[in-house]
Amino acid sequence: MFDFFSWSHILILLTAALVIVGPKDLPRLMHMAGKWAGKARGMANEFRRSFDEMARTSELEELRKEIDALKRNNPVAELEAEIARPVEVPPDSPPDGESPAPRSGEFSITDSAPAEAPDLAKPEAATPP
């Protein structure tokens, strides 16, 4: 609070106040000075609160503008339209239900049961030559 006064300055002011005002009226003077300091501090706090409120209001206004801009340029609506659009089938694709012929290195997938694998643990009968 007394950043601009050193302790020696404060001591000189209190001594001068004691001599000028007198010891009888000094407590009343200090009480009045305390009230003034309290009022000044209250006004500074009120100013700070009003300044913070103005800053919050301007931030809210900026957020409202951003939300309005997002509503006008709704990117989600564009995505929904893209998802709802039917898939275009290339003209060279096979008709429904048929799979294309496998390319080199690919195997065709069938619905038939796999062939039974030979059991290597059993010795097979020797086949005549």
Q: Which helix (H) or strand (E) holds 78?
A: helix 75-84
Q: How far is CA 33 from each of CA 4, 25, 27, 29, 36, rounded to the nearest angstrom?
A: 17, 12, 10, 6, 5
Q: Is the pLDDT of residue 98 over 70?
A: no
- The reply to whether 125 falls in a domain is no
Q: Which pLDDT does position 48 carry in this prediction?
A: 94
Span 20-68, pLDDT tens digits: 988 888 889 889 989 999 999 999 999 999 999 999 999 999 999 988 8
Tokens read off for 124: 């097979």
- The reply to whether 91 falls in a domain is no
Domain that holds residue 45: 24-84
**What is the total count of domains within the chain?**
1
Q: Which pLDDT does position 36 carry in this prediction?
A: 94
- The reply to whether 34 falls in a domain is yes
* Contacts of 101 by beta carbon, 8 Å cutoff, 6+ apart: 108
Section 6-14 average pLDDT: 87
Residue pair 55/67 in contact (Cβ under 8 Å)? The answer is: no
**Full-model pTM:** 0.41
